[in-house]
A and B are shown apart, each in its own frame.
Chain A
Amino acid sequence: LAKTTQPISMDSYEGQEVNITCSHNNIATNDYITWYQQFPSQGPRFIIQGYKTKVTNEVASLFIPADRKSSTLSLPRVSLSDTAVYYCLVGPGYALNFGKGTSLLVTP
């Protein structure tokens, strides 16, 4: 499985756009990129998934460059409730290790 690297933590103010970048240099041709969100003492929740270019849903956008060696999760106008850990996973949608994720803290 492709190894991923993402920042351990990030800070933001309410109302700002937050971009979390994940590196995955050895991504395989058939791999997808999936992001999850986890609040304290809750199970992770699927946010978005993509293969290439850009994917957008009601929660976030996912930008994937042509070489697919990285991806960026974009959260528009974050609120305090977006404080959570965000995990980037690469590979098939099963048997994945989530790693440590990025801890995002949003403050007023």
Chain B
Amino acid sequence: DADVTQTPRNRITKTGKRIMLECSQTKGHDRMYWYRQDPGLGLRLIYYSFDVKDINKGEISDGYSVSRQAQAKFSLSLESAIPNQTALYFCATSDSGTGTNQPQHFGDGTRLSIL
């Protein structure tokens, strides 16, 4: 979805480095999410945020932190990167709407390699 922008698209870095992945959206959605995808494992939820002051851990939050700087911006940080965090990372957004079943809209992903 062109309205959900992830930067950088690709990143190669070394073990122990601090890395920040950024996500911004122009959809006006209040909910944002970070997922990682590993070959053969599908997508797994890292963190999600329902609004600027609401941040929640997902299934695999260890080793990650997030910051919701504004409604439109949600960044994911790896404080000290390790090789098993090499993966494809996706940001997604959804509207709260009138119910809780609004579909998610995904960015194009950030391919992260940690050597």
A49 to B99, CA, bound (A): 13
Q: Is the CB of A100 within 8 A of B59?
A: no
Q: Which residues of A contact B109 (CB under 8 A)?
A: 41-43
Q: Is the CB of A43 within 8 A of B108?
A: yes
B-side interface size class: 20 to 34
Q: Is the CB of B58 within 8 A of A46?
A: no
Task: Pick out which of these stretches binds chain B: A11-19, A61-69, A76-84, A88-96.
Answer: A88-96
A32 to B102, CA, bound (A): 10
Whole-angstrom distance from the CB of A52 to the nearest CB of chain B?
Answer: 13
Q: Which of B58-115 contact A (CB under 8 A)?
A: 58-59, 88, 90, 92, 94, 99-109, 111
Q: Which residues of B contact A72 (CB under 8 A)?
A: none
| Residue A70 is within 8 A (CB to CB) of chain B in the complex | no
Q: Which residues of A contact B42 (CB under 8 A)?
A: 87, 97-101
Chain A binding surface SS class: loop
| Residue B19 is within 8 A (CB to CB) of chain A in the complex | no
Q: List 29 A-B contacts (CB under 8 A).
A: A32-B101, A34-B101, A34-B103, A41-B109, A43-B4, A43-B90, A44-B106, A49-B101, A87-B42, A87-B43, A92-B100, A93-B94, A93-B99, A93-B102, A93-B103, A93-B104, A94-B48, A94-B50, A95-B45, A95-B58, A96-B104, A97-B42, A97-B43, A97-B58, A97-B59, A99-B42, A99-B43, A100-B40, A100-B42
The residues of B with any CB-CB pair to A shorter than 8 Å are 1, 4, 31, 33, 35, 40-45, 48, 50, 56, 58-59, 88, 90, 92, 94, 99-109, 111
Query: Which residue of the partner chain A has the closest CB to B102?
Result: A93
Query: Which residue of the partner chain B has the closest CB to A43?
Result: B106
Q: Which residues of B contact A87 (CB under 8 A)?
A: 42-43
Whole-angstrom distance from the CB of B11 to the nearest CB of chain A?
Answer: 15
